[in-house]
């Protein structure tokens, strides 16, 4: 690997949706993604149904990766009702799965949480009326608190936020408007205003937009693999990002 002396480099991708049939299909992709970077960032929907079997396939595919791998889960990783099994398998394989937690790669802080749905701006669902609506909004608020707690832990001058759901509408544009409320929540943008970061990565919106900005100008990258493949044909489906190396 040719590391840079002046910058810390990351490769980011989400929505790999590993199935039991994915064995052997992702190794060269991961090798290529990790060629000249310091860490690999995975933005959720790591598996298709959240089974132990799928997580093991992903762990095997990552076996040749020798740089740190940092991940958050996506909604698909919850489908079988056992996200802790996915976390356990991946953690044993050396992946750092962040769920309201933070870690540091070469002096760059990374805060990670899955996030949740609820809609954007004036279309955001409010905690009003039936208990189940309040529960739904509460879940979004819990994820916001997780992201905030993770960001608050970081003392590094350079910071990255890792999510599955989008914190802004800009990177889900391209999807049918009817499903915007299920693709992310503006509530997730609030901690990013209080704790500014260098970049936000998310997935989930397979037909969204590659790049937009928060209201305080932070770049937000939708790195859903199907989106990268569709929007950048001929280019490898991951996004490279670098920040100046401190010290």
Binding site for Fe ion (CB under 5 A): 15, 45, 74-75, 204
Q: What is the closest distance, in whole angstroms, from the C-beta atom of residue 203 to Fe ion in the complex? A: 6
Helix, strand, coil tally for the chain in percent (to 5)? 35, 25, 40
Tokens 């802790």 found at: 84
Write the DSSP assignment of 155-204 as a string of letters: --SEEEEE-SSBSSSTTTBTB-GGGGGGTBBGGGHHHHHHS--SEEEE--
Q: Which is nearer to Fe ion, 73 or 105 (CB)?
A: 73
Q: Which is nearer to Fe ion, 76 or 159 (CB)?
A: 76
Q: What is the closest distance, in whole angstroms, from the C-beta atom of residue 170 to Fe ion in the complex? A: 18
Cα angle 194-205-209, degrees, rounded to a multiple of 5: 80
Q: What is the closest distance, in whole angstroms, from the C-beta atom of residue 78 to Fe ion in the complex? A: 10
Q: Which is nearer to Fe ion, 176 or 247 (CB)?
A: 176
Q: What is the closest distance, in whole angstroms, from the C-beta atom of residue 14 to Fe ion in the complex? A: 7
Q: Is 234 left (phi over 0), alpha (psi -120 to 50) or beta?
A: left
Q: Which is nearer to Fe ion, 75 or 209 (CB)?
A: 75
Count other Cβ atoms within 10 Å, centred on residue 217: 7
Q: Which is nearer to Fe ion, 8 or 71 (CB)?
A: 71
Q: What is the closest distance, in whole angstroms, from the C-beta atom of residue 133 to Fe ion in the complex? A: 22
């Amino acid at each position: 690997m040719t590391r840079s002396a002046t910058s810390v480099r990351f490769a980011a991708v989400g929505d790999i949706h590993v199935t039991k049939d994915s064995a052997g299909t992702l190794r060269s992709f991961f090798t290529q993604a990790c060629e000249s970077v310091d860490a690999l960032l995975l933005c959720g929907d790591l598996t298709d149904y959240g089974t132990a079997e799928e997580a093991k396939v992903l762990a095997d595919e990552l076996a040749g990766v020798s740089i740190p791998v940092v991940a958050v889960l996506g909604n698909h990783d919850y489908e079988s009702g056992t996200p802790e099994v996915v976390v356990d398998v991946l953690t044993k394989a050396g992946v750092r799965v962040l769920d309201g937690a933070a870690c540091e790669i070469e002096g760059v802080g990374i805060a990670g949480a899955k996030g949740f749905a609820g809609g954007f701006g004036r279309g955001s669902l409010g905690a009003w009326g039936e208990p189940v609506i309040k529960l739904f909004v509460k879940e979004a608020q819990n994820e916001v608190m997780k992201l905030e707690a993770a960001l608050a832990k970081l003392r590094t001058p350079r910071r990255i936020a890792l999510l599955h759901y989008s914190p802004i509408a800009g990177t889900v544009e391209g999807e049918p408007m009817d499903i915007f409320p299920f693709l992310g929540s503006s509530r997730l943008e609030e901690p990013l205003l209080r704790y500014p970061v260098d970049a936000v990565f998310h997935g989930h919106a397979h037909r969204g937009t590659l790049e937009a900005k928060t209201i305080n100008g932070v770049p937000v990258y939708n790195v859903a693999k199907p989106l990268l493949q569709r929007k950048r044909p001929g280019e490898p489906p991951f996004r490279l990002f670098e920040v100046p190396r401190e010290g």
